[in-house]
Each structure stands twice: as C-alpha cells, then as structure tokens.
Chains A and B, each alone.
Chain A
C-alpha cells in the first residue's frame, strides 16, 4: 500500500496494526514532497528532521500512541499558523525570518493526537487573495494544470492534499480561503462555524471572520481532523462552549429527512456554464438519495462582496498595524530618520501590493468622516445577510443546508487576474457570506470541466451544525467517484 493512495484514517490504522511504521510513512511523505514540490511550490518550509524525529518517537512508544487519533499521520499547516521553533511567515517578507515562541492551540491539539507535522504551506500574503499569486515567495501551481492557480488563500494546503503529498492539511478561511482552493484543486475543504475552532496562534487577518479548518481527500478524514481541533479554548475568548459532537457517527449516508435549499436567483448570472451543469447534476444526486430540494431566497447576498471587503479590510488595517519593525520581523534601515520613518519604510518594504491596498482601503473606511458611510453601513448590511440565512434555516419551510457552487469558475490561469483586483474579489461571490454570518460551510468535489479541472459543491449549514453539513457531504461523496480521481501530476 502506498501511503499517498490512502486516507488519513487508513494510514493511522496501518500504523496502529504495525503494518507500516510511522517512520516509513514519514520518509515516503518527505520523498514525495522532494519529488513533486519543486514544481508545485506548495510548501514554504519543510521540517524533515523534526518530522522524522517525531515519527521515530511514535514508533518507539506504540503503547502510548495506540489510542491517539492521528498517530503517525503526516499533516501540513498553512504558514499563518504559529509553530514554536518553526518559521512562520504568512508568505510575507515582513515575517520571512519570524520564529514563533509558542504553538497555536490547533498545533497543540494535533501534537496530542500524534500527528506528524511535515511543513508549512504557501499561501497568499497574510491570507489576502484568491489565487496564491500574492505570496511573497511565488505562487503555488494547481496539480491539475500547472499553468493555473490552486485558488487561495490556502492554495498550498489545497495543492499538497490534491497532489497526495499529505492526506490532511490545515488552512484558514476569512472569505473562502479554505473552500475556494479546495474546489479548484478537487479536494474537501471545511470552514467550521465561527467560534468552533480556536484562533489562538493564527496570524490575524479579519478577526470577526477568520476560522481554521481542515483539507482532506474525503469527508470522513475532514471530520476526523475537525474532531481534534474543535472545542472551547481558554486562550481564545471567541471560542464557543457548545459541546462538540462525534462527527464520524453523523456520517450515516441517510438523506431521507434532509432538506436542501437552493438559492436559484444567485445562480442566474456570472456562473460558468460547466460549473452550473456540475451543480445541477450534484443536486440530482442528492435528491436521488432522498433529500428534498427547496428554493430559498437570500435577497441581500448580492451585497456580500462589497460588505465583506469593507469589513475585512477594516479589520485587516487594524490587525496589521502590529507589523512595524519593533517586536518581530523585518525592520528597514532608515539611518537615523526617527521612529515614524522606520515604521513607514518597514511596512513599505515588508508588505506586498495586495496587503498595502487592503491596509489603505481599511484605513480609509475607518477614518473620521467615512466610518459611518462605509464601515458602519457594511456592518448593518452584514446583519441583513445574516438574517437571510437565519430565515432560510428556520420556520416551516426551514432547510438543513444550502447548496451552491463554491466558485463561479474552475481554476483560472496564473497571471490572468492579477492586474484587476476587483475581478479577483468577485471570485469570492459564493464564499464570503458564510464568514459574514459565521456559518459552517464545506466544499466537496462535484465534477470536472471539459478541460479536466475540478469543480466544487459548497454546502452551508446552521451554526454549530457541522454534523449535518458533513452528513450531506459524505452521502454525496458515497454516490460519486470525483474524489478518487488522481490529478495528472501523479501519473508523470
């Protein structure tokens, strides 16, 4: 058995049964990364020695790790998740040499579960982007077509799972940054409910929107990963006290009582015909399994993109004020020109164009005289967007999940949209609402275009009801073969 061909759960079981050692699995993984990543550029940092030492420690003490849910399973982390002693850059020059003095809570949880962290994945700088082209270290390539983007911002995590370098990875999702690259790379990506997973140690972008979540090749593996990272954390006061259910037991395959909402008016414009065709076929599959399809109306969804960007940029301009060349990271040499000049030049030289653009817009919409017109107004419309979802999920016609495409198009070419930021923002039309409303949402593979590019089905659920979301996604996966198809980079 090649580790690359099996799930995280199967890898763990093979190690548990001593069919494979954690060290063998780790070596195989590192070899694959060494062979394929020079082309993909999914990783900013690979920690080969650290990973092997960890795997050997697990092999030395099998009793201790027997019940650990991910013992020996290789995992990759987006490079905006803090790892003690391991460089964490957010793909920015300003943090190119930053080594966190502490671990993110999710990293502590993965360590306790026996996961073997193999490296940090490339992403858009500070998670700002939808194509990975905003990485200061160069873009990630899509494993399905090397001239195309993997999506973003967690493009490295998506590409690493799609190319079967690792069975599991973590990303972060502020406006679609897990789901959109999952769709464009043909893997499963889950953004949990806001407050479900601790953000402690995640480099902040939009604090009211950010969530950490898993990438996997199957829904079952994504559920396994979510199980480990979910739950209250004293270090993050925004984590919720809600009980964490057993997600694996929710995957029954039974959709007979499931009601699936379809926002038809949102799909009338701007969606690629092949994406729409894949969505329609996916809805048929869900219906054939017993689900009831219901039309839902989300009248304020058309405002979601401007509202999202106004809120996210405002929060970003505030969060990124901390990168000033004093406490960590890069400092520009300003030769005795004083503190203000040092701040300004450090940020000029340390940040890339998209980050500066967002800091500028965020600063403007928060400034005196414009706050009410832009930021406050956006927060009010955010309330209306949230209410649309609450209405769809409650009352006599209530639905359990809402289905739509994850992205209006399949993977686009590297360079195609970089000159036009607004065009890039429009790619997030289906994903940003879940962040504004704090809802859980998952992308699962639902087909291919004629050019063999993956298409994703997005399901959005009620707050803290990832269980239903995963049940529907898993049932769909059982009736389809999309997830099993290998990208062409594997056959070379």
Chain B
C-alpha cells in the first residue's frame, strides 16, 4: 500500500494500491475509477496532512461524545421482526426454509 507519509510529501497511490484497498472494501472498480481514486485519495490525504502536525501527546481519542451511561436492561425475550418481514427485501430469499440465499462459497 502507499508509503507512510513524510510531512512534506503528497501521498502517492498507484493502481495496485487502489486495487488492494478496493479488495478490502469488497468493491469492484473499473479502470477509470482506479485512476480517479488513485489521484483523489492522494489529494485528500495530502490535504489532511496538516492534522499530523498537531501535538496530541497525552490527548485521549474521542470515539463518541456520549457521557458513559447505563444502558443495561433485563435480558428478556421481546417482540421482534418476524421472519417473513425480514426476508421480504432479500434479492434471493428461500422463503420456505427462512434463509437468505447467496452464491456458492465452498468449492469456488
């Protein structure tokens, strides 16, 4: 993948770098998108480079602004979506068996 950024160097992404990220993201890209994203990923990360310069020694990361709160509740069975409703939007449901059907995984 793209090299770690030196502070004064723009990030360079090759088509191979982009292809690796696309595989991680489960995303097929056409040739034009490969070139476009190679350029645009580099442009954005160069722009975001200023963030690397901020002194964050000893600063805790904020993943959520929520104050910790007790969200526990009794572990009781409650009404939920019934199976037919859950399957209603599936592209290939197996309604009689209650499954989502997918293309073959084993033996590919």
Contact = CB atoms under 8 A, between A and B. Distances in A.
B26 A340 contact: yes
A376 B60 CA distance: 9
A182 to B, nearest CB: 22
A343 B108 CA distance: 15
Interface of B: 1-2, 4-5, 18, 21-22, 24-30, 33, 36-37, 40-41, 43-45, 47-48, 50-52, 54, 56, 59-66, 69, 71, 73, 81, 85-86, 88-92, 100, 102-105, 108
A360 B27 contact: yes
Contacts of A234: 73
Interface of A: 98-99, 101-102, 194-195, 208, 234, 237-238, 240-241, 300, 302-303, 306-307, 309-310, 317, 321, 324-331, 334, 336-345, 347-348, 351, 353, 356-357, 359-361, 363-364, 367, 369-370, 373-374, 376-384, 386, 421-422, 436-438, 463
A438 B65 contact: yes
Chain A, interface SS category: helix
A307 B56 CA distance: 13
Contact of B62 (A348, A363, A386, A463): A386
Contact of A363 (B21, B44, B64, B73): B21
Given A303-B51, A379-B63, A367 B24 contact: yes
Contact of B85 (A101, A339, A359): A101
Given A326-B91, A339-B103, A374-B48, 8 more contacts: A101-B89, A240-B66, A327-B86, A360-B37, A361-B41, A364-B1, A367-B21, A377-B52
Contacts of A194: 65-66
Contacts of B59: 380-381, 383-384
Nearest to A321: B26
A437 B65 contact: yes
11 contacts: A195-B66, A326-B91, A327-B100, A344-B27, A347-B27, A348-B29, A353-B33, A360-B21, A360-B22, A361-B44, A380-B62
B89 A326 contact: no
B86 to A, nearest CB: 7
- Which A-B residue pairs are the 8 nearest by beta carbons? A438-B65, A379-B61, A328-B89, A331-B91, A306-B48, A380-B56, A348-B28, A344-B28
Given A303-B50, A383-B61, A383-B62, A360 B71 contact: no
B34 to A, nearest CB: 10
A101 B37 contact: no
Contacts of B65: 194-195, 208, 386, 437-438, 463
B91 to A, nearest CB: 4
Given A306-B47, A339-B103, A360 B25 contact: yes
Given A361-B44, A382-B62, A329 B91 contact: yes
A487 B52 CA distance: 45
A384 B27 contact: no
A125 to B, nearest CB: 15
A102 B36 CA distance: 38
A6 B51 CA distance: 47
A99 B89 contact: yes
A382 B2 CA distance: 25
A364 B22 CA distance: 9
A325 B51 contact: no
B61 A380 contact: yes
A373 B27 contact: no
A421 B40 CA distance: 8
B48 A359 contact: no
Given A98-B89, A327-B89, A360-B18, A347 B56 contact: no
Contact of A329 (B4, B26, B89): B89
Given A303-B51, A307-B51, A421-B40, A384 B28 contact: no
A392 to B, nearest CB: 16
Nearest to A378: B51
Contacts of A363: 21, 24-25
Nearest to A303: B51
Contacts of B27: 344, 347-348, 351, 356, 359-360
A56 B62 CA distance: 49
B71 A336 contact: no
Contacts of B92: 331
Given A348-B29, A367-B1, A381-B51, A338 B89 contact: no
Given A317-B25, A347-B26, A422-B47, A330 B60 contact: no
